[in-house]
């Protein structure tokens, strides 16, 4: 048998076996300079079978966070996933490798799949768009003057439904892993606030970074005598 035919036969047997190998040696990562990365295909999701196990980048997989597995994108890249069947979108962080089934381009966490309303069906046609590459910095950021002694916080959102506020908390946790956000009840709305900072400049940095992910926020000053935020 010709060498070319042997290679093709081996490829056919491999693809037809149907085995899912989550930690198959990853392909070379996409170059971060490819700012216009866009991909269309089928998304799947993985949940309880892998919950608590180690992902390809060494983290412990938590199916309740907004993460995903991709074959080539660099770890910690943030990707917007759009379900083409219903228009729903979710922002996920790449922390694992996969999926390794033909024609599937991303494996979502349970939480991300729920946000896209695709858990019952199991798969969905999606578009992928890179929002932020790992290690890249926002460009053209303006920072407010550092008003020393003026404490502030960032309001990242206000919702009539608590579930929507909790969803934003999950997204913010992926964007700002070292910052704390909380939900308060104010004016009959569930408002998402950051921790307090000693200057407006730090708050503006957070707002600039949020804008890089198509999120909006504004600064709320803190009354130093009471510790309460001012509207």
Which tens digit of pLDDT belongs to each residue from 18-36?
A: 333 344 444 444 444 444 6
pLDDT the model gives residue 130: 87
pLDDT the model gives residue 36: 60
Cis peptide before 6 (omega within 30 of 0): no
pLDDT the model gives residue 149: 54
CA angle 73–89–190, rounded 5-degree value: 120
Structure tokens at 49: 């079978």
| Rounded CA separation 86/116 (Å) | 8
pLDDT the model gives residue 43: 96
Ordered domains of the chain (ranges, CATH): 35-132 (2.40.40.10), 152-221 (3.30.70.1070)
CA distances from 74 to 9, 22, 31, 98 (A): 32, 16, 8, 12
Confirm if 129 and 80 have CB atoms less than 8 A apart.
Answer: yes
> How many CB atoms within 10 Å of residue 102?
9
Task: Give first-to-last CA distance, the chain, whole Å.
Answer: 77
pLDDT the model gives residue 159: 86
Strand 89-96 and strand 67-69: pairing? parallel
- pLDDT under 50: residue ranges of the chain: 1-35, 135-148, 224-227, 230-231
Whole-model pTM: value is 0.59
pLDDT the model gives residue 228: 53
């Amino acid at each position: 048998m010709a060498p070319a035919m042997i290679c093709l036969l081996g490829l056919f047997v491999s693809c037809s076996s149907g085995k899912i190998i989550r930690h198959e040696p990853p392909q070379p990562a996409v170059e971060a300079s490819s700012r216009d990365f866009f991909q269309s295909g089928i998304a799947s999701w993985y949940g309880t079978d892998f919950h608590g196990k180690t992902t390809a980048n060494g983290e412990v997989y938590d199916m309740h966070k907004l993460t995903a597995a991709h074959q080539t994108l660099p770890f910690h890249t943030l990707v917007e996933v759009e379900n083409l069947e219903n228009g729903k979108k979710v922002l996920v962080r790449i922390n694992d490798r996969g999926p390794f089934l033909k024609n599937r381009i991303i494996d979502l966490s349970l939480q991300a799949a729920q946000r896209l309303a695709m858990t019952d069906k199991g798969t969905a046609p999606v578009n992928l768009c890179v929002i932020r590459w790992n290690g890249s910095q926002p460009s053209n950021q303006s920072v407010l003057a550092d008003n020393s002694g003026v404490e502030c916080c960032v309001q990242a959102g206000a919702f009539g439904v608590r579930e929507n506020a909790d969803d934003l908390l999950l997204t913010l946790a992926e964007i700002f892993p070292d910052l704390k956000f909380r939900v308060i009840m104010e004016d009959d709305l569930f408002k998402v606030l950051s921790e307090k900072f000693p200057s407006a400049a730090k708050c503006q940095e957070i707002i600039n970074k949020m804008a890089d992910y198509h999120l909006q926020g504004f600064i709320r000053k803190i009354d130093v005598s009471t510790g309460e935020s001012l509207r």
